[in-house]
Amino acid sequence: MTTATSKPEVGGAEVAEKDKWLRAYRQMVRIRLFEEQVNELYTRALMPGLAHLYSGEEAVAVGICEALRIDDYITSTHRGHGHCLAKGASPDRMFAELLGKEAGYCRGKGGSMHIADPATGNLGANAIVGGSVGIATGAAFAAKRLGNGRVAVCFFGEGALGQGSLYEVMNLAQLWKLPVIYVCENNLYNEYTHYSETTAGTILGRAVAFGIEATTVDGQDVRAVNEVATRLVKRARAGDGPAFLQADTYRYSGHHVGDINREYYRSKQEEQHWKTERDPIKLHGNWLLKQDHAGEGDLERLFAEARTEMEAAVKFAIAAPYPSVDQVDQDIYA
């Protein structure tokens, strides 16, 4: 561990860099432990409905959101808890939403797949696969028209590549040079089907067809994700138009919390390989140790703090009241 005596004094830029990577670690741990609690709430039958866990994919949301301003936009998916937290949402209000409580982001009426948080630029999760591509592109269009310098990031899974609306919006985004970044989180499976059975050609080829800047990144490496995101955000903000990022990653759990027996579509060895060899938290933790940015004790402390935070947030949500009956017809769209 770095001590005052073991190292010469470091400059401001170095400190900022170290703080940034420690924050990235902390954010990934918060997401992992948030999801652990979601699974626990489901198993204890305290949460109505299902949820789709983001565990294993944390480096994508964190690497990208660390490259964004608070007023930049994101749109999210059915697997959206990691995006929300990485952009700055409060776990208290997220758990409250999951449990249908009034303190939740949608007053308890949306649940896991409908969390939106305008204060942090989060235009919402979306239960419809590919459902947010138009929202993100529209937000980028507005940002360009208003000249406010905002950028929109559109997260989606590789399953959304089958949605025609993605190609309509990518076409317009490129024609109009909109500040939008399409982030395809390729976790290999569309529900229970390997993406190679649903996706002809290459993923990047789709964006290349529109002349959109397209690139791939190791989605288990938070620093690599952040580096490429920083570049793409910079060019979008400068008016150089949209980009498409394929982030290769893996979800550790089932498609949703109830998907327990998965061997008919993927092996236990495959899951084990990703968890032991490619875990984004372990990989980044090892790098922090190697760089002398943290010691084992520091990392354990960050874990313990995040666990305390998430346990307190769950307690808050469990104790929070449900919306009153007179609100049943409010905030409803037909």
Ligand X SMILES: Cc1ncc(C[n+]2csc(CCOP(=O)(O)OP(=O)(O)O)c2C)c(N)n1
* Residues written for the chain: 334
Instruction: Choose the stretch contacting ligand X; rule: CB under 6 A; options: 36-44, 185-193, 260-268, 291-299.
Output: 185-193
User: Least distance to ligand X from the beta carbon of 214, Å?
Assistant: 18
Closest CB to ligand X: residue number:
157
3-class DSSP assignment, residue 7: coil
Q: Are the CB atoms for 209 and 269 separated by under 8 Å?
A: no
160 vs 229, beta carbon nearer ligand X: 160
Q: Is residue 129 a contact residue for ligand X (CB under 6 A)? A: yes
Distance set, CA 12 to CA 6, 9, 19, 131 (Å):
18, 10, 10, 43
Q: Taking CB under 6 A as the criterion, which residues in 144-183 touch ligand X?
A: 157-160
Angle at 285 between CA 284 and CA 286, to 5 degrees: 90
Instruction: Choose the stretch contacting ligand X; rule: CB under 6 A; options: 84-92, 103-111, 126-134, 269-277.
Output: 126-134
Q: Taking CB under 6 A as the criterion, which residues in 258-297 touch ligand X?
A: none
3-class DSSP assignment, residue 156: strand
Q: Taking CB under 6 A as the criterion, which residues in 40-69 touch ligand X?
A: 52
132 vs 303, beta carbon nearer ligand X: 132
User: Least distance to ligand X from the beta carbon of 54, Å?
Assistant: 8
- Integer Cα distance of 61 and 80 in angstroms: 9
Q: Are the CB atoms for 282 and 273 separated by under 8 Å?
A: no
User: Least distance to ligand X from the beta carbon of 81, Å?
Assistant: 12
Pairing outcome for strands 189-190 and 193-194: antiparallel
The single residue among 20, 39, 107, 127 that binds ligand X, judged by CB under 6 A, is: 127
Tokens linked to 126? 């979306």
The single residue among 32, 79, 83, 144 that binds ligand X, judged by CB under 6 A, is: 79
User: Least distance to ligand X from the beta carbon of 129, Å?
Assistant: 4
User: Least distance to ligand X from the beta carbon of 158, Å?
Assistant: 5
Q: Are the CB atoms for 27 and 226 separated by under 8 Å?
A: no
If you search the block for the tokens 């937290």, which residue do you land on? 85
Tokens linked to 152? 């929109």
User: Least distance to ligand X from the beta carbon of 79, Å?
Assistant: 4
User: Least distance to ligand X from the beta carbon of 211, Å?
Assistant: 24
SS3 sequence of 61-80: HHHHHCCCCCCCEEECCCCC
Q: How many residues bind ligand X (CB under 6 A)?
A: 15
116 vs 160, beta carbon nearer ligand X: 160
With a CB cutoff of 8 Å and minimum separation 6, the contacts of 332 are 109
Q: Are the CB atoms for 172 and 178 separated by under 8 Å?
A: yes
150 vs 255, beta carbon nearer ligand X: 255
- Integer Cα distance of 133 and 170 in angstroms: 9
User: Least distance to ligand X from the beta carbon of 215, Å?
Assistant: 19
Q: Across-strand partners of 215?
A: 245
132 vs 187, beta carbon nearer ligand X: 187
Tell me which H or E stretch contains 99. none
The single residue among 29, 34, 59, 78 that binds ligand X, judged by CB under 6 A, is: 78
The single residue among 191, 227, 259, 298 that binds ligand X, judged by CB under 6 A, is: 191
Contacts to ligand X by CB under 6 A = 52, 78-79, 127-129, 157-160, 187, 189-191, 255
